[in-house]
Structure 1
Amino acid sequence: MTKIIRIGTRDSELALWQAHHVEKMLNDLGYKTKIVAVKSQGDIILDKPLYELGITGIFTKTLDIAMINGDIDIAVHSMKDVPTALPQGIVQAAVLERANEKDILVYNNNLDFLDTEATIATGSLRRQAQWLHKYPNHNVVDLRGNVNTRMQKLKDNNWDGAIFAAAGLERINLKPENYINLDWMIPAPAQGAMMVVAMGDDSYCLDALAELNHIETEITTYIERQFLRTLEGGCTAPIGAFAKFNEKDETIHFQGVLFSLDGSQKIEVNKIVEVQEWKQLGYNAAQEIFENGGLELMKSIKEKLKKQ
């Protein structure tokens, strides 16, 4: 059996780039494809922070519905936007090799503000908390929209800078000269990776996508998302995680962190394990966070977000 694989995607420039990237990989393997662009609620509602919308997977839900309804066969996502629990019937079919996992700061004029007062824009609680932890005298404002919209908002406002995922800007050639790498900022779980999902009973698409899967990225992002899932329990929180495979000694290095919303509290875990111990690494690291005060901090975060 052969069929045209309908690739569902959001209609932003970055999402379309990712969909076309997967399309080319499938075409190179001999599969026929078609791009189907769908606008998500996360792109439409730009006047509220993401955590206020109360929707799990706001950037993925529209595509999930389209797939369940049979309008598309597969969907391509920035993996960090995908909820750790997928809808019934939908499965992770491929994780592509991870690109740059770092966050970067794009600034308007110069970097003098780092030593004084400043206004930094981000729509991410994780970025906000880590920035305020390092620069407690700075002001952080909300920034929403797709990558292009956010870059334009930075130009149009008198903010000192805004925080972006490096991979997104690099993929669509939007990374400007006036940026710095935030090497000290722990990325979102699975940042820089792309996930392709399909229906669990669609053997044709599952077989096709299996050829695109990058096993090392699949394992490291699994660890990071397991850490996230264990910690958050459905609650949005300032959580960072990054796992990296070390070929020399065949170990996995994991760094995870939980912050309070204002960045004043930080609970961190660093672990190095043998590769064969990867399946429980994220869970065990999250338990360490809980044992060091993370349980109380998560309760506090949930209560504060309810009041906002």
Structure 2
Amino acid sequence: MSQKVIRIGTRDSELALWQAHTVQKKLNDLGYKTEIIAVKSQGDIILDKPLYELGITGIFTKTLDIAMINGQVDIAVHSMKDVPTALPVGIVQAAVLERANVLDILVHKGNLDFLSDIGTIATGSLRRQAQWLNKYPTHNVVDLRGNVNTRMQKLNDSNWSGAVFAAAGLERINLKPDDFIDLDWMIPAPAQGAMVVVAMADDSFTREAVSELNHIETEVCTYIERQFLKTLEGGCTAPIGAFATYDENNDTITLKGVLLSIDGKDKIGIEKVVPIEEWKKLGFHMAQEILNNGGEELMKNIKLSLKK
């Protein structure tokens, strides 16, 4: 085996480092040499603006993309839901790791009376905001930015009723508190709970090494979800949820998808079960169905309201 050291690029938040160390251990167990290089991203630095105002979907991945293209690192590890559906030229998906918990959870202050009354919920995600307001139209939703630790601290220091987090992120760094409820009615972000490793297209040694970490079922399901997202949004940030599951007993794929208005008042949902053979175009076809069913108009309105 070649003695090349695979340099793993990562953001320097606790969760990002956990993800990088997880990949490092898996590669080391296979006999590869590795080194972790932490880089700060614009998404971590600019905390006073909502993500969609930064005008870029890949705000957390851009810095690492540049480091890879410049040859400072060989691979980058990301929460797959943060990765734009179109990768930069020269960068390819090298592996998707087995998915963890996909659910969103509500972290609260121990009292849930506000659920049947008025409350203030914090989240930096348009998807969570829209789904929350669709279910709880009397509530107020406020913007919450920063890495997982920062957001937890802001919740503790606030008078908010609660905040919505991805369960996987809190579980990975042991931050999941006792006071939480699973939001199993909320459709997760495409690829939520999955980690992806990207590499340079022309680096065959590294791509081959990393491909040994790929989990095929997670790769297929996240592909379907991201295709659904890409077909709907066309490069615009929007409240979109998608979750695909594989049923090995029946050899079928189920996809649940949703598109909402930002205020949560309009919601177009879809759910389908198809034979596994039809997985390649499932996300595309279901997104087209939503677009033809009022989704096109909804996407126009979303783009207009984000420009204001």
Give the TM-score normalised by structure 2.
Answer: 0.99
C-alpha separation in 1, matches of 2:40 and 2:151: 17
**1:150 Cα shift?**
0.1
The answer to whether structure 1 residue 96 and structure 2 residue 86 are counterparts is no
- Worse-matched range after superposition: 47-56 or 122-131: 47-56
Counterpart mapping for 1:57-136 below 5 A? 57-136=58-137
C-alpha separation in 2, matches of 1:271 and 1:56: 28
C-alpha separation in 1, matches of 2:261 and 2:289: 17
The letter of the residue matching 1:145 is G
The letter of the residue matching 1:191 is Q
Paired position in structure 1 for 2:10: 9
> Unaligned regions of 5+ residues in structure 1, if any?
none
The letter of the residue matching 1:81 is D
C-alpha separation in 1, matches of 2:245 and 2:130: 23
The answer to whether structure 1 residue 298 and structure 2 residue 296 are counterparts is no
Asked if the contact 2:8–2:36 (Cα under 8 Å) also holds between the matched residues in 1, the reply is yes
C-alpha separation in 2, matches of 1:26 and 1:248: 32
C-alpha separation in 1, matches of 2:75 and 2:96: 13
Map Cα deviations across residues 179-211 of structure 1 (whole Å, 9 max, x no partner). 000000000000000000000000011000110
Paired position in structure 2 for 1:186: 187
> Unaligned regions of 5+ residues in structure 2, if any?
none
**1:262 Cα shift?**
0.2
Paired position in structure 2 for 1:289: 290
RMSD of aligned C-alpha atoms? 0.5
* Aligned residues with identical type, % of pairs: 77
Paired position in structure 1 for 2:244: 243
Paired position in structure 2 for 1:172: 173
The letter of the residue matching 1:90 is I
Map Cα deviations across residues 135-182 of structure 1 (whole Å, 9 max, x no partner). 000000000000000000000000000000000000000000000000
Asked if the contact 2:58–2:83 (Cα under 8 Å) also holds between the matched residues in 1, the reply is yes
C-alpha separation in 2, matches of 1:138 and 1:283: 34
Asked if the contact 2:133–2:139 (Cα under 8 Å) also holds between the matched residues in 1, the reply is yes
C-alpha separation in 2, matches of 1:241 and 1:208: 30
C-alpha separation in 1, matches of 2:248 and 2:199: 31
SS of the equivalent of 2:220 reads helix
Asked if the contact 1:109–1:160 (Cα under 8 Å) also holds between the matched residues in 2, the reply is no
C-alpha separation in 1, matches of 2:62 and 2:3: 28
SS of the equivalent of 2:301 reads helix
Map Cα deviations across residues 22-78 of structure 1 (whole Å, 9 max, x no partner). 000000000000000000000000001000011230000000000000000000000
C-alpha separation in 2, matches of 1:36 and 1:162: 31
**1:291 Cα shift?**
1.0
Asked if the contact 1:186–1:257 (Cα under 8 Å) also holds between the matched residues in 2, the reply is yes
Structure 1 runs, 4 residues or longer, greater than 4 Å off: none
Asked if the contact 1:5–1:73 (Cα under 8 Å) also holds between the matched residues in 2, the reply is yes
C-alpha separation in 2, matches of 1:121 and 1:49: 12
Map Cα deviations across residues 225-271 of structure 1 (whole Å, 9 max, x no partner). 00000000000000000000011101001000000000000001111
C-alpha separation in 1, matches of 2:109 and 2:54: 29
C-alpha separation in 2, matches of 1:142 and 1:218: 31
Asked if the contact 2:57–2:237 (Cα under 8 Å) also holds between the matched residues in 1, the reply is no
C-alpha separation in 1, matches of 2:57 and 2:238: 13
Paired position in structure 1 for 2:35: 34
The letter of the residue matching 1:49 is P
SS of the equivalent of 1:221 reads helix
Asked if the contact 2:10–2:77 (Cα under 8 Å) also holds between the matched residues in 1, the reply is yes
Counterpart mapping for 1:224-263 below 5 A? 224-263=225-264
SS of the equivalent of 1:222 reads helix
**1:108 Cα shift?**
1.4
C-alpha separation in 2, matches of 1:229 and 1:57: 13
Give the TM-score normalised by structure 1.
Answer: 0.99
The letter of the residue matching 1:245 is Y
SS of the equivalent of 2:93 reads strand
**1:109 Cα shift?**
3.2
C-alpha separation in 2, matches of 1:159 and 1:268: 29
The answer to whether structure 1 residue 268 and structure 2 residue 284 are counterparts is no
Counterpart mapping for 1:184-223 below 5 A? 184-223=185-224
Number of aligned positions between the proteins: 307
SS of the equivalent of 1:2 reads coil
